[in-house]
């Protein structure tokens, strides 16, 4: 009997509660860090060789369609991807394009293009400038563009959160970003380490997928890829990869600039054996750039030159600008 003026109290049935519990378990078991395909595949050597990486800041990962570089509703990524394709034989370095979020710190904005290993950002790219950007910055390697290009400092961490492409990264990615931010804040490194989400980078079965651009003790920029990353790995990635410039072998997938076909161990640009217990001096803030970056884009398009570019001399220009 229900008292007048008092709403009834509804107790969920056992069947309803069981159904809710099943949904939560399925979400974690199928897509999260406890899923059955975690650690099933070999990681080292799972990244195609490339030498330069572009990240275009564009909207939020929740809004990216399955193939954002092919979407008519997203003209900026599509036009930039098309411009890269059209000039692939004229670009000296193998170049990969990925979409990322600008983040919430006001450091970057939509339309900004981060370029690694050069450690520079091209500010405010608009749809009408896609061809000119590729021509000036990537083909002709111009660096005096009326304030359009600025230097970057620190370390940059990109975590795949492309939920509309694969649910595994959609579940794992945001959790990893929060853990990165928590650890970075606790170490007072917020001004030195930038963390944001990115689109598909290849290998969703390896989720969580993380790419870290940071300096070696010699000041060169390394771009290291990691797979099967869990929240428990974040502390080590910050201390070892970012702080010491050394790769974390057990979750390492590959490295920008290295020909890693069939590779078994990371290419340690600092010459240090990672099995050594000797601790290197901490170096958080990035200094200058080295050669580095593939042409398979985030959604399968290629902007690479067809010939093998390994050991090819790099002419003075964009790469030689940093550190002059």
CA atoms of 258 and 308, how far apart (whole Å): 13
Strand 120-122 with 113-116, pairing: antiparallel
- pTM tops 0.85: no
Percent of the chain with pLDDT over 90: 64
Q: Is the pLDDT assigned to residue 151 strictly greater than 70? A: yes
Cα(247)–Cα(273) distance, rounded to whole angstroms? 10
In the numeric block, which tokens belong to residue 132? Answer: 């000119």
pLDDT digits over 206-265, tens only? 999 999 999 988 889 999 999 999 999 999 999 999 999 999 999 999 999 865 444 455
For 25, phi then psi, to 5°, come to: -65, -45
Which tokens is 324 given? 């002059």
Q: What is the pLDDT of residue 147?
A: 81
What would the pLDDT profile of 177-191 be if each residue is shown by its tens digit?
999 999 999 999 999
Q: C-alpha 163: how far from its chain's center?
A: 15
- Rounded CA-CA distance 311/115 in Å is 21
| Preceding peptide of 232 cis, ω within 30° | no
| pLDDT(122) > 90 | yes
- Identify the pLDDT of residue 102: 94
Of 38, 83, 151, 103, give the one whose Cα is nearest residue 297.
Answer: 83
pLDDT at 143: 73
pLDDT of 45 = 95
Rg (CA), the chain: 22
Angle between helices 167-186 and 14-31 (to 10 degrees): 80
Percent of the chain beyond pLDDT 70? 70
- CA atoms within a 13 Å half-sphere pointing along the CA-CB vector of 169: 25
**Is residue 145 within 8 Å of 129, Cβ to Cβ?**
no
Higher pLDDT, 282 or 201: 201
pLDDT tier for residue 305 given thresholds of 50, 70 and 90: very low
- Phi, psi dihedrals of residue 189, rounded to the nearest 5°: -115, 15
């Amino acid at each position: 009997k229900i008292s007048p003026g008092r709403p009834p109290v509804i107790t969920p049935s056992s069947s309803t509660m069981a159904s809710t519990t099943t949904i939560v378990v399925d979400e974690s078991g199928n897509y999260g860090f406890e899923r059955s395909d975690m650690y099933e595949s070999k990681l080292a050597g799972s990244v195609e060789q490339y030498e330069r990486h572009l990240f275009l800041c564009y909207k939020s990962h929740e809004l990216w369609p399955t193939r954002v570089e092919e979407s008519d509703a997203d003209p900026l990524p599509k036009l930039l991807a098309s411009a890269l394709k059209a000039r692939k034989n004229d670009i000296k370095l193998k170049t990969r394009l990925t979409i990322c979020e600008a983040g919430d710190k006001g450091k970057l904005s939509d339309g900004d293009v981060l370029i690694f290993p050069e450690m520079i950002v091209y500010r405010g790219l608009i749809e009408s400038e896609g061809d000119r950007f590729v021509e000036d910055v990537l083909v002709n390697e111009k660096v005096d563009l009326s304030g359009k290009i600025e230097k970057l400092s620190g370390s940059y961490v990109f975590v795949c959160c492309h939920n509309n492409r694969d649910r595994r990264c959609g579940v794992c990615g945001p959790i990893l970003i929060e853990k990165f931010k928590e650890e970075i804040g606790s170490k007072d490194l917020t001004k030195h380490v930038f963390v944001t989400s990115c689109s598909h980078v290849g290998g969703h079965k390896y989720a969580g997928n993380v790419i870290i651009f940071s300096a070696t003790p010699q000041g060169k920029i390394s771009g290291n890829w990691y797979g099967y990353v869990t929240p428990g790995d974040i502390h080590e990635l910050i201390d070892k990869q970012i702080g010491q410039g050394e790769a974390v072998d057990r979750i390492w997938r590959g490295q920008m600039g290295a020909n890693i076909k069939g590779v078994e161990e990371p290419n340690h640009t600092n010459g240090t054996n990672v099995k050594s217990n000797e601790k290197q001096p901490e170096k958080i803030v990035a200094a200058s750039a080295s050669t580095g970056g593939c042409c398979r884009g985030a959604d399968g398009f290629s902007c690479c030159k067809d010939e093998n570019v390994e050991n090819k001399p790099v002419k003075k220009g964009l790469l030689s600008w940093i550190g002059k």
